[in-house]
Amino acid sequence: MPDQQEHATMTRVPTVYDVATHAGVSIATVSRVFRQPDTVKEATRERVLASVEALGYVPSGAARGLAARRTGVIGLFFPGLDALDADAGRALDEGDAGAATIIRDVGGSVDTRGGDLYFDEVLRGSEVEAWRSGFVLMVGVGRGATAHDTLVDMAGRVDGLIVLAGSVPDDEIARLARRLPVVVMAGRRQGDELDHVSVSNTEGMRALVGHLLDDLGVRELAYVAGSEGSPDDAERWQGFRDALTERGMTAPATPDLRGDFTREAGRRAGRALLARDVLPRAVVCANDQMALGVIDAARIGGVDVPGELIVTGFDGIDAGRLSTPRLTTVKQPMEEVGRAAVQTLVRRLTDPGRAAASVRLPVQVYLRESSEPAAP
Residue 167 three-state SS:
coil
140 within 8 A of 154, measured Cβ to Cβ: yes
β-bridge pairing 329-331 and 364-366:
antiparallel
- For position 112, what pLDDT does the model report? 41
- For position 98, what pLDDT does the model report? 61
- For position 202, what pLDDT does the model report? 96
What torsion, rounded to 10 degrees, do the Cα atoms 189, 194, 195, 200 define?
-10
Is there a cis peptide before residue 181, judged by omega within 30 degrees of 0? no
What pLDDT tens digit does each residue of the chain (376 aa) get?
445 444 444 456 778 788 889 999 987 888 778 777 778 898 998 999 899 888 877 665 545 454 455 678 899 988 765 444 444 455 555 556 566 766 665 554 444 444 457 788 899 999 999 998 888 999 988 766 667 777 888 888 889 999 988 777 788 888 888 888 999 988 666 667 889 999 999 999 999 999 999 999 999 999 999 988 888 999 999 999 999 999 999 999 999 999 999 999 999 999 999 999 999 999 999 999 999 999 999 999 999 999 999 999 999 999 999 999 999 999 999 999 999 999 999 999 888 888 998 999 999 999 999 998 755 5
- For position 86, what pLDDT does the model report? 45
- Cα–Cα distance measured from residue 245 to residue 225, given in angstroms and rounded to the nearest whole number: 18
Q: What is the DSSP letter of 39?
A: G
- Cα–Cα distance measured from residue 195 to residue 358, given in angstroms and rounded to the nearest whole number: 6
66 within 8 A of 16, measured Cβ to Cβ: yes
- Cα–Cα distance measured from residue 199 to residue 278, given in angstroms and rounded to the nearest whole number: 35
- H or E element in which residue 72 lies: none
What is the maximum span of the chain, computed from C-alpha positions, in angstroms? 94
- Cα–Cα distance measured from residue 63 to residue 55, given in angstroms and rounded to the nearest whole number: 15
Taking CB atoms within 8 Å and a gap of at least 24, the contacts of 214-217 are 214/247, 216/282, 216/310, 216/371
| Integer CA distances (angstroms), 356 to 27, 197, 315, in order | 32, 11, 26
